[in-house]
Structure 1
Amino acid sequence: MAPIVVHNSLKPGAPVPFVPKDEGKVSWYACGPTTYDLSHLGHARNYVSTDIIRRVLMHHFGFKVNFVMNYTDIDDKIIIKARRNRLLELEKDKPYSPEQIRGLVFKTFVAYADSNLPLLLSAGDAAGLDENNYQERKETAYGHVLAGGTLSGEGKPSDPEAKVKMHLNNMDSAAQSLKAGSSFEGAEEILLPYLDSLYKETLDTSDQTIFTNLTQAMERAFRDDMEALNVLPPDAVTRVTEYVPRIVTFVEQVIKKGFAYEASGSVYFDIAAFEKAGNTYARLRPESKNDKSLQEEGEGSLSKTLEGKKRSGDFALWKRSKPGEPCWPSPWGAGRPGWHIECSVMASDKLGDQMDIHSGGIDLAFPHHDNELAQSEAYFHECDKGEHTWVKYFLHMGHLSILGSKMSKSLKNFQTIQDALATTYTSRNMRIVFLMGRWNDGVEISPDMRKQADNWETTLDNFFTNIKAKLSEAAGMLTDGVKDLSLAATKGGLFEELKQAKTDVDAALRNSFDTFTAMQIILRLVRDANIHMNDRAAEPNLQAVEAVARWVTKIVGVFGLDAGAAPPYEGLGWTSASSAAAANVDPQTAVKPYATVFSKVKGEVEAFGLSDTSVQTLLEQQAPESEFTELEKAGERDTERLALPFIRATSRLRDELRAIVSSATPLEPKTKQAVLALSDRIRDYDLTDLGVQLDDQTDKPSLVKFVPAAKLIAAREEKAALLAEKARQKEEARKAREKADEEKWAKAKVTAQDLFRSDAKYQEWDTQGLPTKLADGNAVPKSQLKKLTKEWEKQKKLHEEYLTKFGPGA
């Protein structure tokens, strides 16, 4: 059997063999969210892709995974967001007059433009900008960026252009606020940084609720998002604020080993000392080692004024807290942890001096993960023993981009997970999009990618629905079906294709969890199974198709595509929402809607008083209640299976009604109309509203399919809307024809001799009514007279039609 290989950021290039330190076990630390805002689709990409790999390791390869994730509940972004929220609340409580509010908003409007959008301001004319000339200045200064160009005029748009658009959006809202009147509403984004610059040092940050109110709310929202996306919860969760004393101890140890130094109340990692001791810095991204912009971003926007660094690349392990920032006691004075040290301490506490996997988004590789590695390996460093390996495999999820820029909270070019699930995606559909790419590649969600994902899901939906219906038709749903999926090659045909698909999917997942290839293999197999199942030239082997369906069910379960399923995923098809909801419901209660429909339909059929013996036999012999009772006694709790006796009984009655209408025995017109109406209602309303679709078949009972009721109802409403639109268009066409006829005969009523006599362009006519002189006294030109003669002849013929249709004197 081939080994598992994985792309490891510590060893760029081809995938390397995956060999955990303990056989059969995997220790894994994942960088969790910074809890200062709602999570967006970029986070979904990271955490869903991480979840897929975790599930594959656990449920396909059989590893026991210890998965640890952190919540960063204090850092520069959290401090700024929480502090600004509090300052805005305080500002709104001040007794400002309307004029004062407008003056403050206008002042911040100009200041924001000066800081972030300098091209809006003419040289030395900052005071000239206002809400009235803003749009004109925006188009002049940044119209090329808004149209898809770049600031420099070269290359493709990226983060700088996205940032400009973000600032312009903030200015747009503020301009509207100024035009609307004296209110802070709409101007918050430009007002917040201004208030922070004025009052940040006045807040009493010993009141930690300023920060915890925000982080706890965002942590709850993140957990809800992950549950909605069917992401497995971590085995252990850590929070920075719960680890501050251990962070202090960790930093002390790094100082003691000579790899950090204190300066002005802060502690910095000494990269030079680390490298001098034989260690390697920036192992993940050596090319970014001296990138000052990334170094500054890694330190945080509140840390630009920290003093005492020996070298610009040295990074903070502990930061001296300034007024307006939270703080904890330490040997170096009141301060707070640096960003990178948090994960080092928490991961080491939970997983020891070495872990198998560390993961996160690719944007964290430098400086965050490189700094994590350095300070952790410094902590565990032992002289004369070489470099310490803190992480064996670093997995970086490719980021999600939009219009060429990384989806980012800081750029405000994101769609939240909550909004995406409410308007654009289902959890399953979003996961399919990510499965159809490779986890370590960047993703830009395009219409084509969405279409491929939709088609993949629809293909499987239909396959599961159809095989269940076929098995039900053959009474196979009431058996255990094919349980043994270790099929012999000698069975050939679809069985052989299944065997090959199993081998190919396993090989794809062993190749760095290549779900893109696995998804294509599954799709091909399902399409082949559909062809086999629907082959009219040969009797399909439903056992083979069922075997395919059960194996596909298992794999999509492993991938996390069925939120209602649980390992070892031995069912058939998607777990029905109704069955999942009814799992703990009394069977009698669960099937009551289906039993009610049958009872209602039976009563209506009896009321017809039909003499047909087949109908009377069905009415007398059908006993769905008995079938249901036997299933209930056998311990069946699946709502669909329990409801099947009532659905089949209802469907059979409908089939007989349809047969009677089509038979040679005539029915009274009124009865026939009522029977047809009932037949349609059973199919289109009674059963549709319960999530049951009936497919009519020639010379066979209708095929019973379970389809989500919402989907069937939507299709019914769409069909009704199309029919209504068709009827509307037909009626409009009828009215247009009537109008055209009215206009035609109104014109036809006029004789050819009178056609031109009322036209002021002419003053003389011949005996037939053809113009001879124009209004100015000139003779009608020959070319014009030729045209008028044709019109005269046409009118003569039209008037003759009129006389024929309506008669003289009409």
Structure 2
Amino acid sequence: MDTIKVHNSLRPGGPMPFKPIEEGKVKWYACGPTVYDQSHLGHARNYVSTDIIRRIMKHYFGFDVNFVMNFTDVDDKIILRARRLRLLDLEKKKLYSGEELHNLGIAAFQAYATSSLPLLVADDGKLDESNYAARRDAAYGKVLAGGTLSGEGKPGDDEAKIRMHVGNMDSAARAIQEKKLFGGADDVLQPYLDFLYKETIDTSDQTIFTDLTRHMEGEFTDDMDALNVLRPDVVTRVTDYVPQIAKFVEKIVEKGFAYEAEGSVYFDIAAFEKAGNTYARLRPESRNDKKLLEDGEGSLGKKLGGKKGPGDFALWKKSKAGEPYWPSKWGDGRPGWHIECSVMASDVLGEVMDIHSGGIDLAFPHHDNELAQSEAFFCRHEKGEHTWVNYFMHMGHLSISGSKMSKSLKNFQTIKDALKESTARSIRIIFLMGRWNDGVEISPDMRLQAEGWEFTVNNFFTNIKSLLAEVSARGLKNPSMKDKPSSGLMEGLEQAKKDLHAALVNSFDTPRTMSVVLGLIKDTNIHIREHKSDADFGSIETIARWITKIVGILGLDGNAKPPYEGLGWAASLGEIVDPNDAVKPYEDVLENVKKDVLKLNIESNEVKSLLLLSPDQEFRQLVDAGTKDVEQLALPHVRAVSRLRDEMRRIAPTTAAETKKSILSLSDRIRDYDLTNLGVYLDDRTDGQPSLVKFVPAVDLIAAREEKAAKDAERARAKEAAKRKQAAEEAARWEKAKLSPTDMFKADDRFSAWDGEGMPTKMKDGSDMPKSQMKKLKKEWDRQKKLHDEYNGKFGGAGAS
């Protein structure tokens, strides 16, 4: 087997050979979510891309993968979210007068602006709901119009954050004006209430936090299941590991790589590097980035003091009032953000792992700090620098309008909302179209490309299954081409396998993989079109089954299970308890169609023969063979309906007009309603070929039918409207035509005298008509005369003067 090469963030440059610690096995730790809110498409990008690589490793390359993922269920974001929700709930229960409630809203409104949108209060600080809009537009209008705050460059995260804060303020201003503070102004109320009352919360009752995190953990798991992401082999939670975390920190302190200060414990970067270790191996250029360092410490860690170096980070944080706490040798406190992953991953996977993965935004400081503290914990001075992770894989982030999609910017679409608009398969296809380690922005072009790929594969599977079923029904046993020139299909398949393998060993190049699949389908479709009577069905089936396996490995079929040996998308109906119940709807359609055909009294021996045929024997053979696929079991009944319909359509032109009309009406109903409602499409073919039976999800067929009906109705409405407009214009024309040209200018008060034909000779003031105006009026007179003469000719002069 060719050596897999992967992009490794620890070794910048191109992909490097992948050599697991133990041959055939992979130890993998992935940073899981901080469970404080709904997951969004940015999370989907991370976890779906991770899932794709994991599936390829397991189901294509055959590795035994031990995949570990954590849930961060205690950190600054969770503390703030849970505490603020509790304080808001308590505030809603207080008895406020209208004026008191208004004053609370204004105080929160002003505090939020001071903290997040300072330009709103830069002048006099007298901000309220009445002057807010004008100040907002003056201060931040450029950003709201799509520009930057400075007026230069392209908008980024800073501008996205401004838009988010403005959105919160807009909602709050409306809520204050409408006297509906709770609900509309929650986003500005929560931080204000937290400022006032955070120290009053009794955090010995940790259900304040765990109720939120357990609920959100369940929501995240549901989202991943819906996206067909494999569940982790092992799940860890920070709150289950706090005693081990405290012990882990103690050992780092004992080794001289950390120190206690004011009840907190910090990692000592200087001591770590002095001992010969490397800090910030993933992002050395970011080690002095103040903003990233502050983000890494969390919003509640800003006031913790006693650091020796500006980059030193908290391993253990002293808990302040309003924060959860656990006992330790340094007093009541809680884990730092980074230490949790080091402890949990090491507990399950040991002191060295093959792969550590996560979103690219975690590279610094989170992952760099994980590496440092873990390597400090495990290092043995006599052996030199310790290696904790062999391969760091970072998934590219998802962006929207130039900014990273994130909860903090509120520029996200939740996974649940995304799945209302798109299927899990279509979302996964979009991610497969880009490399896992590259950033991606979902654009209209990308959506169209993904939709085209999915449409092509769907049609391929549907057509191949239908053609192979037809071949089987005609008694052909997938004839080989051994007595004919080679079709070239198998050679094409072998080349596709090589190309796809080369793509996957090259750091899981899924864009190339998707292109290989599409190319093979294109070549196979060309063969089918060019060989209608002698297609190489044996090779066609082999190709279709290989493509089925590949899309299964990529996680595109939520109903399929490895080793993905079926043909086409797996049915979603699961195991059939009773085959008779499964085919009853198809059996009912056949019986109803037979009854309707009998009512037509058609004098055709072929029709009468088909009415007597029963699919029961073929159905029983399938049952006896252990067939569980509903489509296969239903095919005898569907084929019987299709054959009867084909024969009726064939003889329809030879029947009486009324019978022909009834036959065609019944034919359309069978195709568009009876079978469509069961997820069966009859593809009517020319050249005397029977209709091709295709199984397509009923919801798709019904949607297409309804869309066609809506378009037909719209066309009918447009045609009727055009007809009415034409009739109105025609009526107006003939109404105008009634007027004799002799009379057309006599009612015009611009003139005072006319000749015998009704042409004006004098203006109102008695002056002669200007020659230029006379020429213009003569043209109008001539047009009216022509129209009036036409009217007299059509209506015999009725109404003419």
Provide the TM-score with structure 1 as the length reference. 0.96
- For residue 481 of structure 1, report the CA deviation from its aligned partner: 7.1
Asked if 1:506 is matched to 2:501, the reply is: yes
Give SS of 2:184's match: coil
Q: Which residue of 2 aligns with 1:671?
A: 659
CA distances 1:538-594 after superposition (whole Å, capped 9, x unpaired): 7321222222211111101000000000111111111133xxx15233111111110
Give me the whole-angstrom Cα distance separating, in 1, the residues matched to 2:532 and 2:564: 33
Asked if 1:121 is matched to 2:121, the reply is: yes
**Any conservation in 1 of the 2:471–2:477 contact (CA below 8 Å)?**
no
Give me the whole-angstrom Cα distance separating, in 1, the residues matched to 2:635 and 2:215: 45
Give me the whole-angstrom Cα distance separating, in 2, the residues matched to 1:601 and 1:608: 11
Q: Which residue of 2 aligns with 1:733?
A: 722
Give SS of 1:33's match: coil
Q: 2:189 aligns with which of 188, 191, 206?
A: 191
**Any conservation in 2 of the 1:38–1:416 contact (CA below 8 Å)?**
yes
- For residue 479 of structure 1, report the CA deviation from its aligned partner: 10
Letter in 2 for 1:691: G
Q: Which residue of 1 aligns with 2:773?
A: 784
**Any conservation in 2 of the 1:582–1:590 contact (CA below 8 Å)?**
no
Give me the whole-angstrom Cα distance separating, in 2, the residues matched to 1:674 and 1:281: 82
Give me the whole-angstrom Cα distance separating, in 2, the residues matched to 1:340 and 1:18: 26
Please list, as runs of the form range in 1=range in 2, the aligned pairs for 1:304-703 lying within 5 A after superposition: 304-422=302-420, 424-475=421-472, 493-535=488-530, 539-577=534-572, 581-620=573-612, 622-663=613-654, 666-667=655-656, 669-698=657-686, 699-703=688-692
- For residue 185 of structure 1, report the CA deviation from its aligned partner: 2.2
CA distances 1:349-381 after superposition (whole Å, capped 9, x unpaired): 000010000000000000000000000001101
Q: 2:245 aligns with which of 244, 247, 259?
A: 247
CA 1:6/1:792 → structure 2, altered by over 3 Å: closer, same or farther? Answer: same
CA 1:398/1:15 → structure 2, altered by over 3 Å: closer, same or farther? Answer: same
- For residue 803 of structure 1, report the CA deviation from its aligned partner: 1.1
Provide the TM-score with structure 2 as the length reference. 0.97
**Any conservation in 2 of the 1:582–1:639 contact (CA below 8 Å)?**
no
- For residue 228 of structure 1, report the CA deviation from its aligned partner: 0.1
Give me the whole-angstrom Cα distance separating, in 2, the residues matched to 1:614 and 1:748: 64
- For residue 491 of structure 1, report the CA deviation from its aligned partner: 5.1
Q: 1:235 aligns with which of 233, 236, 241?
A: 233
Give me the whole-angstrom Cα distance separating, in 2, the residues matched to 1:416 and 1:778: 80
- For residue 2 of structure 1, report the CA deviation from its aligned partner: 2.9
Q: Which residue of 1 aligns with 2:177?
A: 179
Give me the whole-angstrom Cα distance separating, in 2, the residues matched to 1:374 and 1:518: 37
Give me the whole-angstrom Cα distance separating, in 2, the residues matched to 1:200 and 1:136: 33
**Structure 1: which 5+ runs fail to align?**
none
Q: Which residue of 2 aligns with 1:751?
A: 740
**Any conservation in 2 of the 1:468–1:477 contact (CA below 8 Å)?**
no
Give SS of 1:519's match: helix
Letter in 1 for 2:15: P
Q: Which residue of 1 aligns with 2:30?
A: 30
CA distances 1:414-440 after superposition (whole Å, capped 9, x unpaired): 000011101x22100000000000000
Give SS of 1:267's match: strand
Give SS of 1:610's match: coil
**175-184 vs 143-152, greater mean Cα deviation:** 175-184
Q: 2:757 aligns with which of 768, 777, 788?
A: 768
Give me the whole-angstrom Cα distance separating, in 2, the residues matched to 1:587 and 1:707: 20
Letter in 1 for 2:666: L
**Any conservation in 1 of the 2:202–2:322 contact (CA below 8 Å)?**
yes
CA 1:672/1:182 → structure 2, altered by over 3 Å: closer, same or farther? Answer: closer
Give SS of 2:391's match: strand
Q: Report % sequence identity.
A: 63
**Any conservation in 2 of the 1:478–1:641 contact (CA below 8 Å)?**
no
What root-mean-square deviation, in Å, do the aligned CA atoms of Structure 1 and Structure 2 show? 1.6
CA distances 1:229-268 after superposition (whole Å, capped 9, x unpaired): 0000000000000000101111111111111111111111
- For residue 520 of structure 1, report the CA deviation from its aligned partner: 0.9
- For residue 492 of structure 1, report the CA deviation from its aligned partner: 5.8
Give me the whole-angstrom Cα distance separating, in 2, the residues matched to 1:287 and 1:337: 27
**Structure 2: which 5+ runs fail to align?**
none
Give SS of 1:336's match: strand
CA 1:435/1:481 → structure 2, altered by over 3 Å: closer, same or farther? Answer: farther
**183-192 vs 349-358, greater mean Cα deviation:** 183-192
Q: How many residues align?
A: 795
Give me the whole-angstrom Cα distance separating, in 1, the residues matched to 2:531 and 2:758: 74
Give me the whole-angstrom Cα distance separating, in 2, the residues matched to 1:154 and 1:734: 56
- For residue 122 of structure 1, report the CA deviation from its aligned partner: 4.5
CA distances 1:109-150 after superposition (whole Å, capped 9, x unpaired): 122112111222352x111x2222222221111111111111
Give SS of 1:609's match: coil
Letter in 2 for 1:631: L
Asked if 1:69 is matched to 2:69, the reply is: yes
Q: Which residue of 2 aligns with 1:265?
A: 263
Give me the whole-angstrom Cα distance separating, in 1, the residues matched to 2:576 and 2:470: 27
CA 1:154/1:793 → structure 2, altered by over 3 Å: closer, same or farther? Answer: same
Letter in 1 for 2:465: K
**Any conservation in 2 of the 1:105–1:184 contact (CA below 8 Å)?**
no
Letter in 2 for 1:396: H
Give me the whole-angstrom Cα distance separating, in 1, the residues matched to 2:476 and 2:414: 45
Give SS of 1:750's match: coil
Give me the whole-angstrom Cα distance separating, in 2, the residues matched to 1:461 and 1:70: 36
- For residue 476 of structure 1, report the CA deviation from its aligned partner: 7.1
Give SS of 2:295's match: helix
**Any conservation in 1 of the 2:10–2:282 contact (CA below 8 Å)?**
yes
Please list, as runs of the form range in 1=range in 2, the aligned pairs for 1:4-19 lying within 5 A after superposition: 4-19=4-19
Letter in 1 for 2:445: D
Give SS of 1:339's match: coil
**Any conservation in 2 of the 1:550–1:571 contact (CA below 8 Å)?**
yes
Give me the whole-angstrom Cα distance separating, in 1, the residues matched to 2:504 and 2:166: 45
- For residue 155 of structure 1, report the CA deviation from its aligned partner: 1.4
